[in-house]
Structure 1
């Protein structure tokens, strides 16, 4: 007993130190996510493209994220989470500098897409903490809440900084600031983050990874082609059929492989499957709705009859309120999980997301009204961002924590990519019936918010069902 107590006492300061360095990483991740949002309209004008085409920045980056995250997450379990954090941050550094100096739309789009591997940072960090706490879900949940709070602080700092600097400095200077922050983050990971010992095989399931990448590329390409050539063309549907056709050989291969890139056997466990499906539905709102929110706020109501006519600084303040509420949701998630249970808390959080976006459909005519709605959704979103990866880790063996937390990000990314493509169609569908120039139609925005609300309801139902399996109202 004495030894156990002494060991437990040693763990707390060690975990605190680890989380301290990881906080810097998540601050940087937040800067990446928040800095560019107030600038989307300015980027569209800078690159000479339509507002709706800005959605392809998000779609392309989500495509790269979806393809790379599961492989990188599995590598984290195999070779160590710090090594993969370094690798993914190095790729992101190079891409960020490419974004800053890209001379045209296509090079900008490629560089932007190659920033996608940063999405693996949070699941790798949660897996690292989970391993160092020896699977203690309570400590991991608390650490995850701190990391997500740091993420949201970074989003606010990024959004406020870009909103303040946009009228002052040129576009190249504006775009170089995140690249500097990511470079500093790489240094912090190198010197400050400890390694976790690898587990299991050191040989990556390359055939499985190739099948998974082909499957995701085909599905994402189909979704993107819907936007480029329209749903009336056969090419998008052919790509989607190819992607669907790869599902069966991928699953069969993974079931046979001793160390698969995605252990589909684990997905047979109802809690794990509920987490992954709910995360995919959550991706619609948390990833897919960001650009529509920004462009709606920047739309001039004197020209279109709708929108808020906000400046880049005004959008940054709107985003700041939303992100503050996400931070609040993240830090209250552990307490809510103790009162209900892990899945009951997640279901309540998803209901808040559904409520917030549902209110957007009926009340969007003022900054205050839109802000209140988004703060309701933000509280639920923050709790889900913090707690879904922890729930996935808790329902997985130690050797697969990185894989399952990474799979939540892949599911969220795929959901966001599907949403981004659907939303691009919604926002480009107007112009023919409404004289709104380069702006997207009001009906498109209402469709976006209605879809976000409906998918959040679906996530809540999945999580509520998992709550019943995991013990009703008993704390975990």
Structure 2
């Protein structure tokens, strides 16, 4: 593919990824106001967040597999269309059921980023692939970081429905750009869709993520929470048994258990944990009153402006990530990213007293995440057949999402246990925030440990050898024109 066609393709797909990640952020400024806006209890209003999380977890692996079977561009357009419809429903809604329905449809677009990475693998020449997939992978964080200040501004100066109309408009633009500039890839796996496998994985993920996201409300030792965790284990064990015996499984566990894929997915889950820990601590420290002695007394718009540099740095790190991978291999890129994130969280545990310190910490952590996220698609695609690219990338994205959900639950428990009393209110204590940052650093160190066991760079082998040398497979160059 010539540069005149490759550049628009990369920009369109990256824009689509940023729009989808922005969609997940757009509701954050509304969270404290949702109960009043939707005439619901705080616990019920949280379903506007939980529904998106659950829908994204279910849709991501399915869209990946369907993309491999029936066309990645087709599934990309379907995902973006569902996001637009969901945004319109949420924009027209004034009640909880309508909001949950709209947010559920928005969540079904979570497969856009892995689908975009897979299209890049099919369409781009090898020399362009590293930087392009690094940018696409980083868009998961870029959209959230850049969208927060914009969403905060709209929430403060316009009717809250404008947030969803904006999401619908951006989704429509992304859809039209994909129609105009992205062609359908001829790489297909064919076969039949594993409905039983899809149902089993969906049930297991719903049980797991419901327990994680609602455990604090229901009680971590309640029968409901423990029952959901138990059901998760049983359902996923049965699902795994079926996947190993199905002729055309939803997720090829034999491929997913290869050393390189397995370790990359484990590192991705831990990195997802690290990425979200920062997002839970810094906004609260910024917004707490100065009279607490550790709060900085800033408004929501200021919070967005402090967090925005991390998104810009993530984007800037995409070519750096690709360069490290080219020179040393993606394993060393992932190791580098883990070290940078660990250092960032370590500084964050000590630096919380000034706005400039928080800007520096978020930018440093963003740099590490941008470097590491750029390596993950390269590691996954190096070890899977071309016909399974979308499914493998979708599973990797799902692992990141599970990490972020777990991060929210762990941070919630820590901040709920370490509290102080201020002006008649119970607030998270400074030590609680510092402990969450330390946990974020520890998570990055764990990711470093997983990455250290990844195989060293190996020469490319023929696609037919994938089953013979599971740890030494690096992807073939995509076709070029």
Range class of TM-score, shorter chain: 0.7 to 0.9
**Structure 2 Cα separation of the partners of residues 157 and 277 of structure 1:** 27
TM-score, scaled relative to structure 2: 0.86
**Structure 2 Cα separation of the partners of residues 45 and 452 of structure 1:** 33
**1:366-408 CA deviation, whole Å, 9 max, x = no partner?**
1111111111111011122222123211211111111111111
**Partner residue of 1:85?**
76
SS in 2 for 1:182: helix
1:225-374 to structure 2, matched below 5 A, reads 225-287=214-276, 289-302=278-291, 304-374=292-362
In the alignment, is residue 65 of structure 1 matched against residue 53 of structure 2?
no
**Structure 1 Cα separation of the partners of residues 45 and 281 of structure 2:** 10
1:106-145 to structure 2, matched below 5 A, reads 107-133=98-124, 136=126, 138-145=127-134
- From 387, 390, 399, the equivalent of 1:411 is 399
Number of equivalenced pairs: 461
Deviation, 1:333, is: 0.3
**Structure 1 Cα separation of the partners of residues 39 and 310 of structure 2:** 29
**Partner residue of 1:420?**
408
In the alignment, is residue 446 of structure 1 matched against residue 437 of structure 2?
no
**Structure 2 Cα separation of the partners of residues 284 and 182 of structure 1:** 27
CA gap of 1:151–1:283, structure 2 versus 1, over 3 A, is: closer
1:199-214 to structure 2, matched below 5 A, reads 199-214=188-203
8 A Cα contact 2:314 2:370, kept in partner: yes
8 A Cα contact 1:77 1:198, kept in partner: yes
SS in 1 for 2:372: helix
**Structure 1 Cα separation of the partners of residues 84 and 425 of structure 2:** 37
Deviation, 1:195, is: 0.7
8 A Cα contact 1:99 1:112, kept in partner: yes
Deviation, 1:463, is: 0.9
**1:257-305 CA deviation, whole Å, 9 max, x = no partner?**
2221111001232111111110011111224542443233222222x33
In the alignment, is residue 162 of structure 1 matched against residue 115 of structure 2?
no
**Structure 2 Cα separation of the partners of residues 470 and 362 of structure 1:** 41
In the alignment, is residue 386 of structure 1 matched against residue 380 of structure 2?
no
8 A Cα contact 2:26 2:148, kept in partner: yes
Deviation, 1:54, is: 8.3
CA gap of 1:252–1:166, structure 2 versus 1, over 3 A, is: closer
Deviation, 1:127, is: 0.6
**Structure 2 Cα separation of the partners of residues 101 and 159 of structure 1:** 22
**Structure 1 Cα separation of the partners of residues 268 and 327 of structure 2:** 22
Stretches of structure 1 that go unaligned for 5 or more consecutive residues are 1-9
8 A Cα contact 2:68 2:190, kept in partner: no
CA gap of 1:438–1:201, structure 2 versus 1, over 3 A, is: farther
Deviation, 1:412, is: 0.6
SS in 2 for 1:466: coil
CA gap of 1:344–1:186, structure 2 versus 1, over 3 A, is: same
**Structure 2 Cα separation of the partners of residues 397 and 89 of structure 1:** 26
**Structure 2 Cα separation of the partners of residues 358 and 44 of structure 1:** 36
8 A Cα contact 2:52 2:106, kept in partner: yes
**Structure 2 Cα separation of the partners of residues 237 and 150 of structure 1:** 35
**Structure 2 Cα separation of the partners of residues 316 and 420 of structure 1:** 19
**Partner residue of 1:6?**
none
In the alignment, is residue 220 of structure 1 matched against residue 209 of structure 2?
yes
8 A Cα contact 1:132 1:196, kept in partner: yes
Of the structure 1 ranges 262-271 and 148-157, higher mean CA displacement relative to structure 2 is found in: 148-157
Quick one: higher RCO (CA 8 Å, sep 6+), 1 or 2? 1
**1:78-129 CA deviation, whole Å, 9 max, x = no partner?**
0000111111112211222233333245643453343222321111111111
Deviation, 1:56, is: 6.2
8 A Cα contact 1:34 1:155, kept in partner: yes
**Structure 2 Cα separation of the partners of residues 435 and 113 of structure 1:** 38
**1:128-169 CA deviation, whole Å, 9 max, x = no partner?**
1101237x3x42212123435666665565334334444322
8 A Cα contact 2:265 2:396, kept in partner: yes
CA gap of 1:212–1:198, structure 2 versus 1, over 3 A, is: same
CA gap of 1:147–1:109, structure 2 versus 1, over 3 A, is: same
8 A Cα contact 2:263 2:454, kept in partner: yes
**Partner residue of 2:462?**
none
Deviation, 1:443, is: 4.0
CA RMSD between the two structures: 3.0
**Partner residue of 1:29?**
20
**Partner residue of 1:5?**
none
8 A Cα contact 2:278 2:362, kept in partner: no
**Structure 2 Cα separation of the partners of residues 256 and 145 of structure 1:** 35
CA gap of 1:443–1:110, structure 2 versus 1, over 3 A, is: farther
